[in-house]
Amino acid sequence: MNRAASDIDPLPASADPQPARLIGDTPRGGSVLSFYSPRGAARPPRVGRGEGVWLWDADGRRYLDATAGAVVANIGHGNRHVIAAMQAQAERVSFAYPRFFESEHNIALADRLCALAGEGFDRAFFVSGGSEANESALKLARQYAVVTGQAGRWKVISRDPSYHGSTLGALAVTGDAHTQAIYGPMVKPMPKVPAPLSYRLPEGHTAESYAMACADALERTIEQEGPQTVLAFILEPIGGLSTGAVVSPAAYFQRVRQICDRHGVLLIYDEIMSGAGRTGEFLAAHHWPGARPDLVTLAKGLAAGYTPLGCLLAPARIVDAVAGAGGFVHGHTYFTNPMSCAIANAVMDEVERLDLVARARERGVGLRRRLEAVAARSPLVGDVRGLGLFSAIELVADKATRRALPAAFNAPARLTEHGLRHGIALYNRRANLGAFGDFQMITPPLTISEPELDELADRLSRALDDLADEVVRRGLA
């Protein structure tokens, strides 16, 4: 094991080092991983504590959290201001149902997010995560159509590949052959258009020309489906794990906006990963001001892992129409709960105090430079892309031909395993079983310092070296 001595923290180590642990080694109860891996598979380290960009396991080994967990921990771990706010709110009230008691933190958080999101976003609806936020967006769009005499509109076009969540409504608009093969019969089929991937392109295209062709495919699909049946188009403005941080040209967003306007189709940006400052703007949508969406969803970095929270931002014209016609027929037990809103306000206080949106922009430049250096020395990194601290590397067998590694090898999972040995935590969830290639998101907390970026690059490089050795050993390159 190639680990620096400073990676063993003598203080928090538990008295008894963790014995080797396997999935299914307790007959009942146990880890949630028993739902994901067969009995006998090795279990990952058990988390002990977190501070800043670092996580320690129960044996005191430390890992740089290079992906902020699942692109969540935007303000880093163990933030004292947020912990104090959590405690203060818990002592006042944790839960009061929002349709009977308003909470000051709901109002403050909504005011602040609408101000940060800017013109066109007047109301905020809080839920418990990204999938619920997208369900809320789809349902608000649908109810708006119903109450404005457009009940024939119900189809939501989305992109392939894409990811919009794991609930059945969100899965209907997710472009993923693997989930479709299992859950497809249980969801209403929704039309898909190609996502403008940028690394492997159809013959004769540049990334720019292909993006415009993908926008044109949206218009063709609306026309084929019948414009009066199409409710909305939902997309990740910068793809997460579905495309690995593909950033499309401004002209793509402008054309998409024009097409939606022409056909009365609502434009929804899923900013569950890209929002809350990660790309160097509060919303990724702010990078393309000429192409504002109608609805935006947020989660993950919004409460930065201190509590589960998602959010739908909407214009008053849509919310008023629905509220004036009997009210939104949608809600959850935990929606807009005072505890979560208080915590998210404390997180947003930290985002402002530490100027983290600007920091994401600045550190993004340093991260990009380091990832390009990592790519230059690794035979496996074919592409580096992203914006701000929302970036990804593409793993390939051959850089010259852009040939992917065999899908069955599951390069991202192998990289995660090598990364753990080198003290770097690399979250991954493989979309489409790797059919569109293998990428690894690199999305550290926005609080990361320049020396910590050096550590990230160094640890990532070492993990990639081990992966390259394995690729050669298995004869895959």
CB of 174 to ligand PLP, least distance (A): 8
Q: Which is nearer to ligand PLP, 240 or 444 (CB)?
A: 240
Partner residues linked to 295 by β-bridges: 268
- The dihedrals phi and psi of 194, each to the nearest 5 degrees, come to -65, 140
Q: Which is nearer to ligand PLP, 52 or 129 (CB)?
A: 129
**Separation of alpha carbons 270 and 285, rounded Å:** 10
CB of 461 to ligand PLP, least distance (A): 26
CB of 128 to ligand PLP, least distance (A): 8
Q: Which is nearer to ligand PLP, 113 or 374 (CB)?
A: 113
Q: Which is nearer to ligand PLP, 240 or 388 (CB)?
A: 240
**Residue whose C-beta lies closest to ligand PLP:** 130
CB of 415 to ligand PLP, least distance (A): 19
Contact 182, 176 (CB under 8 A): no
Contact 279, 387 (CB under 8 A): yes
Contact 255, 261 (CB under 8 A): no
CB of 391 to ligand PLP, least distance (A): 15
Q: Which is nearer to ligand PLP, 53 or 299 (CB)?
A: 299
**Separation of alpha carbons 74 and 66, rounded Å:** 11
Element holding 259 (H helix, E strand): helix 250-263
3-class DSSP state for residue 424? Answer: strand
Q: What is the largest CA-CA distance in the chain?
A: 67
Partner residues linked to 230 by β-bridges: 155
Q: Which is nearer to ligand PLP, 260 or 272 (CB)?
A: 272
CB of 17 to ligand PLP, least distance (A): 33
Structure tokens at 338: 């005072």
CB of 342 to ligand PLP, least distance (A): 20
Contact 174, 162 (CB under 8 A): yes
Q: Which is nearer to ligand PLP, 137 or 360 (CB)?
A: 137
Q: Which is nearer to ligand PLP, 56 or 436 (CB)?
A: 436
Q: Which is nearer to ligand PLP, 274 or 378 (CB)?
A: 274
- Characterize the bridge pairing of strands 266-270 and 62-65: unpaired
What one-letter code names the amino acid at 32? Answer: V
- Phi-psi map region of 245: left, alpha, beta (phi>0 left; psi -120 to 50 alpha): left
CB of 392 to ligand PLP, least distance (A): 12
Q: Which is nearer to ligand PLP, 114 or 299 (CB)?
A: 299
DSSP string, 198-251: SSS--TT--HHHHHHHHHHHHHHHHHHH-GGGEEEEEE-SB--TTTTS-B--HH
CB of 70 to ligand PLP, least distance (A): 6
Q: Which is nearer to ligand PLP, 240 or 437 (CB)?
A: 240
C-alpha closest to that of 108 among 355, 336, 286: 336
Burial (CB < 10 A; 0-12, 13-18, 19+), residue 294, is buried
CB of 176 to ligand PLP, least distance (A): 11
C-alpha closest to that of 386 among 400, 401, 375: 375
CB atoms < 10 A from the CB of 123, how many?
A: 17
Element holding 438 (H helix, E strand): strand 438-442
Structure tokens at 71: 């692109």
CB of 129 to ligand PLP, least distance (A): 3
Structure tokens at 449: 């310092």
3-class DSSP state for residue 118? Answer: coil
CB of 430 to ligand PLP, least distance (A): 12
3-class DSSP state for residue 416? Answer: helix
Q: What is the 3-state secondary structure (H, E, C) of 379-412?
A: CCEEEEEEECCEEEEEECCECCCCECCCHHHCHH
Q: Which is nearer to ligand PLP, 275 or 434 (CB)?
A: 275
Binding site for ligand PLP (CB under 6 A): 70, 129-131, 134, 163-166, 236, 240, 270, 272-273, 299
C-alpha closest to that of 94 among 345, 346, 339, 343: 339
